[in-house]
Amino acid sequence: MPPGVSLFDAHPFTVVSLDYIKADRRRDEFARICPNMVIVDEAHACVGTESGRHQRFGLLQRLAEDSERHLIMLTATPHSGDDVAFGRLLGLLDPAFSADTLDSDRGRERLARHVVQRRRVDIVEPDNDGQSWGEERAFPKHEAAEAPYSLTNAHKLFHEAVLDWCLGVVEGAGADSRQRRLAFWGTLALMRCVGSSPQAAISALRNRVTALPERLKAGVFDTDDDEGQAEDIAPDWRIDEGSALADLIDQASRLGPDPKLAALIKLIPQLGNPVVFCRFIATADAVGAALRKAFPKARIEVVTGDLPAVDRAARVESMAGADDVQRILVATDCLSEGINLQSLFDSVVHYDLSWNPTRHQQREGRVDRFGQPAKLVRSVTLYSPDSAIDGAVLEVILRKAEAIRKATGVTVTMPEDTTAVTGALMQAVLLRKGRALRTQLSFDFGGFDEDRATVDAVWRDVEAGEKRSRARFAQRVLSPRDVLPEWRRWRDILGSPAELERFVHRALVRLEASPETARAGVLRAPLGALPAAIRGRLEARGLEGSVNLAFSEPAPRGALSVTRAHPLVATMAEALLEASLDPQSASIEPLGRAGAWVSGAVDQLTIVALARLRFKLTTRSGPRETLLLAEEAGALGWLPGDLAPSLIGADAAAILEPTALSSLPDVARARVLTTALARLESQAVGAGLAGYARGRAEALAADHARLRAAARMSGEVRVEAVLPLDLIGVFVLLPKVGQ
């Protein structure tokens, strides 16, 4: 930039990292010339109390002080239970909201005017609250199962040896607090690696100390930072340089066949196209190699943190053409967020137990989501009852979290107080081996009580907090029943899948890119044959060549799900409309806006017009008024003698559908259309059109009033029709002679 000119002066639209812009020397400049609209991605990462997040929050708080600025904050991360952070997030919308106000009746009532919480369970099983929408859901059924396997004697002995060594490290850590914490979390991290695979165990045993205790703790409980991808490397640590460590490495390298791998290989044929989630890169690589050997005909890919993010997506997409063989994706948790896998895979295997129940949800959520073409999604958790680690994690963490999920319908995160969980976890490991920890570490870690009362109380607090959250954010104000009529009306306006398919087929044919039926419910469209102007616009959206199109959800594998808002539909509709309204500038053959023909759908002369109505919507709240403009289009029909249209909407449009019985000579067609246009331009019919437009304005005003009353909103909305309305298409249908 030239001296004195900032980046933001020169470029009105910028995409900028929050961590770049939060710096003191840039924050003030950005706040001074900040645009009128700001979109904040991953907004939950800006409201914590840590130093970095505090700076981000300070910047957003400053931007939010301007009440005229539009601030859109995006997040798909579930509420973590941190009321302070969530209160700060809501406070950016309105300073009146805070963690304290959310527990009062008045605060909840006010918040309910702005918050609509509809969980997946509310949509999949709406009959539970009597609010069924009477619609078939587009979500698959999810079946979860556990697949236990037995350790061989060699693997049992190795687990025992590592556990003995770890306990010795913890008990021999000495008086140094940091060393004791490093030993404690390092041993837990190592035990995770041992439970994952011999390869991960060897990698961890060979690594040197570089990690802080806090980083090791985050790795143990999979509480990776919001801003970064999940870590999938074995922890960097080493406590001992002695022969015992070398003996463990040697023992791990001589273990023989891995029973966990054998259990997975036995399981794979029972699944469709699975994603196998591993915790560590070393494990994923070993699993991928074993599966390639066991299933040479399958398409198998391994995606880990060793690959840059763009290459991860490309490797997944490369599997799209393998429809005739089983697809198996082996991945670490670097794919548990950010990449949708539902179009290619229909099952999930938790090869390694995550110690954070949310991570299991994230893994399954890559496959079990809207748009999954399979009717059934399966998830399978592998574990060994012989493993002290697996058994302890299932008992202390995962099954307790699952019980809460069944009770509340929501997957909960790890309790903030991990001390009690860690203590119970270690105790469970030791009790399974009939041992006792000789050194009490209560000063650093809270101690390991012999009973489970402490950890049970922690999980009860988590469940109680989730129930409070459900009560706090339950939708008391607006019932689905109140919006159901509008939803169904809007869906009718957008068109059914059959109507959408008909439009796309006809438009492609007219634009000389006739589609073929690829299979039931799928059209294959040669987009390369479209006119250059349309083809170029589609290529800019990544649509080119020949593509398979599906119009019902979920789309079959290998087909694009096409909705009314899909770029192909929008681009063709816009091009055809523009060409019809301005044929002189059109680069394609325009659609006719006037026509006359003989039809078997009528028994008397009928005029059908396509009308465009405009409305002024004035919203008044207190002394403030806001003006909006809205439009709608609809078909209107007149029979002989009608002054006002007697056929409205679908009734009028339906008689245009049947194929013409015959055309009219040019002279006769011109005469019929001239007469019809003169009739529509007459004062009497004009008055009827004005009455229809005013009636639509009154109906819209009534809809707004009803919904505002249902939502307990103050103020009012006035709707005024803009006259005269536009007739942008006129068609005359004549009955068959003698009919």
Burial class of residue 175 in the structure, from the number of CB atoms within 10 Å of its CB (0-12 exposed, 13-18 middle, 19+ buried): exposed
Whether residue 254 is found in the same domain as residue 396: yes
Is 125 contained in some domain? no
Whether residue 18 is found in the same domain as residue 35: yes
Q: What is the arrangement of strands in the sheet containing 594-598, beginning at the earlier edge strand?
A: 647-648, 624-638, 606-621, 716-734, 594-598, 662-663
End-to-end CA distance of the chain, in Å? Answer: 77
Residue 142, amino acid? H
Whether residue 257 is found in the same domain as residue 389: yes
Q: What is the rounded distance in angstroms from the CA atom of residue 87 to the CA atom of residue 78? A: 14
Q: Band the pLDDT of 438: cuts 50, 70, 90.
A: very low
**What separation in angstroms does the CA of 124 have from each of 117, 140, 145, 480?**
14, 9, 20, 14
Pairing of strands 37-40, 70-73: parallel
Per-residue pLDDT, 446: 41
Residue 617, amino acid? L
The DSSP secondary structure of 680-728, one letter per residue, reads: HTSHHHHHHHHHHHHHHHHHHHHHHHHHHHHTT--SEEEEEEEEEEEEE
CB environment 455-483: b (16+ within 10 A), e (fewer): beebbeebbebbeebeebbeeebbebeeb
Is 139 contained in some domain? no
Q: What is the rounded distance in angstroms from the CA atom of residue 202 to the CA atom of residue 190? A: 10
Per-residue pLDDT, 407: 67
Compare 94 and 501 and report the one with higher pLDDT: 501
Q: What is the rounded distance in angstroms from the CA atom of residue 441 to the CA atom of residue 181? A: 10
pLDDT at 482 over 60: yes
Helix/strand/coil percent split, the chain, to 5? 50, 15, 35
How many domains, in total, are found in the chain? Answer: 4
Which span out of 49-53, 284-288, 472-476 was modeled with the highest average pLDDT?
284-288
Contacts of 172 (CB under 8 A, 6+ apart): none
Can you tell me the mean pLDDT for 420-432? 63
pLDDT at 441 over 50: no
Q: Which of 428, 454, 472 is the last residue of a domain?
A: 472
Is 34 contained in some domain? yes
Per-residue pLDDT, 593: 93
Compare 126 and 549 and report the one with higher pLDDT: 549
CB environment 185-214: b (16+ within 10 A), e (fewer): bbbbbbbbbbbbbbbbbbbbbebeeebebe
Q: Band the pLDDT of 433: cuts 50, 70, 90.
A: low
DSSP lists the bridge partners of residue 718 as 618
For the chain, the maximum distance between any two Cα atoms, rounded to a whole number of angstroms, is 108
CB environment 652-685: b (16+ within 10 A), e (fewer): bbebbeeebbeebeeeebeebbeebbebbeeeeb
Q: Band the pLDDT of 451: cuts 50, 70, 90.
A: very low
Residue with token string 């009314």: 564
**What separation in angstroms does the CA of 167 have from each of 215, 245, 386?**
20, 13, 19
Q: Band the pLDDT of 129: cuts 50, 70, 90.
A: very low
Lowest mean pLDDT segment, chosen from 121-125, 273-277, 456-460: 121-125
Q: What is the rounded distance in angstroms from the CA atom of residue 185 to the CA atom of residue 219? A: 9
Q: Which of 427, 452, 472 is the last residue of a domain?
A: 472
Per-residue pLDDT, 2: 84
Can you tell me the mean pLDDT for 704-724? 86
Nearest to 267 by CA among 208, 191, 326: 326
Token pair, residue 655, equals: 């008689």
Residue with token string 């791998």: 261
Compare 516 and 98 and report the one with higher pLDDT: 516
Contacts of 82 (CB under 8 A, 6+ apart): 48, 416
Nearest to 357 by CA among 303, 408, 321, 290: 408
Number of Cβ atoms within 10 Å of the Cβ of 524: 14
pLDDT at 297 over 70: yes
Compare 649 and 554 and report the one with higher pLDDT: 649
Whether residue 309 is found in the same domain as residue 380: yes
Whether residue 60 is found in the same domain as residue 109: yes
Mean pLDDT (the chain, rounded): 81
Whether residue 451 is found in the same domain as residue 415: yes
pLDDT tens figures, 490-499: 877 788 888 8
Q: Give the sign of the dihedral formed by CA 174, CA 176, CA 177, CA 181.
A: negative
Per-residue pLDDT, 207: 67
Helix (H, G, I), strand (E, B) or coil at 540: coil
Whether residue 310 is found in the same domain as residue 418: yes
CB environment 321-345: b (16+ within 10 A), e (fewer): ebeeebbbbbbbbbbbbeeebbbbb
Burial class of residue 542 in the structure, from the number of CB atoms within 10 Å of its CB (0-12 exposed, 13-18 middle, 19+ buried): exposed
Q: Band the pLDDT of 248: cuts 50, 70, 90.
A: confident
Is 137 contained in some domain? no
Burial class of residue 714 in the structure, from the number of CB atoms within 10 Å of its CB (0-12 exposed, 13-18 middle, 19+ buried): exposed
Contacts of 317 (CB under 8 A, 6+ apart): none
Q: Band the pLDDT of 701: cuts 50, 70, 90.
A: very high
Whether residue 405 is found in the same domain as residue 547: no
Nearest to 384 by CA among 226, 540, 197: 197
pLDDT tens figures, 213-240: 555 666 666 665 444 445 566 555 555 5
Pairing of strands 522-526, 647-648: unpaired
Question: Which phi and psi (to 5°) does residue 596 adopt?
Answer: -150, 135
* pTM beyond cutoff 0.85: no
Number of Cβ atoms within 10 Å of the Cβ of 604: 11
Whether residue 110 is found in the same domain as residue 207: no
Lowest mean pLDDT segment, chosen from 40-49, 78-87, 366-375: 78-87
Per-residue pLDDT, 443: 33
Whether residue 581 is found in the same domain as residue 600: no
pLDDT at 283 over 70: yes
Q: DSSP state, 513?
A: -
Lowest mean pLDDT segment, chosen from 115-124, 140-149, 167-176, 208-217: 208-217
How many Cα atoms sit within 13 Å of 422 on the Cβ side?
A: 21
Q: What percent of the chain is modeled with pLDDT above 70?
A: 77
Per-residue pLDDT, 518: 85
Q: Band the pLDDT of 309: cuts 50, 70, 90.
A: confident
Q: What is the rounded distance in angstroms from the CA atom of residue 559 to the CA atom of residue 516? A: 13
The answer to whether 426 and 448 are in contact (CB under 8 A) is yes
Is 339 contained in some domain? yes
Is 120 contained in some domain? no
Lowest mean pLDDT segment, chosen from 261-265, 582-586, 655-659: 582-586
Q: What percent of the chain is modeled with pLDDT above 90?
A: 34
CATH number, position 226: 3.40.50.300
Lowest mean pLDDT segment, chosen from 341-345, 368-372, 438-442: 438-442
The answer to whether 328 and 276 are in contact (CB under 8 A) is yes
Extract the runs of DSSP E, i.e. beta strands, from 176-281: 274-277
Helix axes 243-253, 153-171, angle to 10 degrees: 160
Is 189 contained in some domain? yes
Q: What is the rounded distance in angstroms from the CA atom of residue 411 to the CA atom of residue 73? A: 23
Q: CA torsion, points 281, 283, 286, 288, in degrees to nearest 10?
A: -70
The answer to whether 352 and 389 are in contact (CB under 8 A) is no
Burial class of residue 316 in the structure, from the number of CB atoms within 10 Å of its CB (0-12 exposed, 13-18 middle, 19+ buried): buried
Per-residue pLDDT, 661: 94
DSSP-H helix ranges across 541-665? 567-581, 650-654
Q: CA torsion, points 334, 340, 345, 348, in degrees to nearest 10?
A: 50
Is 127 contained in some domain? no
Q: Band the pLDDT of 577: cuts 50, 70, 90.
A: very high
Whether residue 558 is found in the same domain as residue 604: no
Residue with token string 């290989």: 265
Domain that holds residue 445: 145-472
Helix (H, G, I), strand (E, B) or coil at 534: helix
Whether residue 294 is found in the same domain as residue 398: yes
Token pair, residue 506, equals: 């006809």
Residue 44, amino acid? H
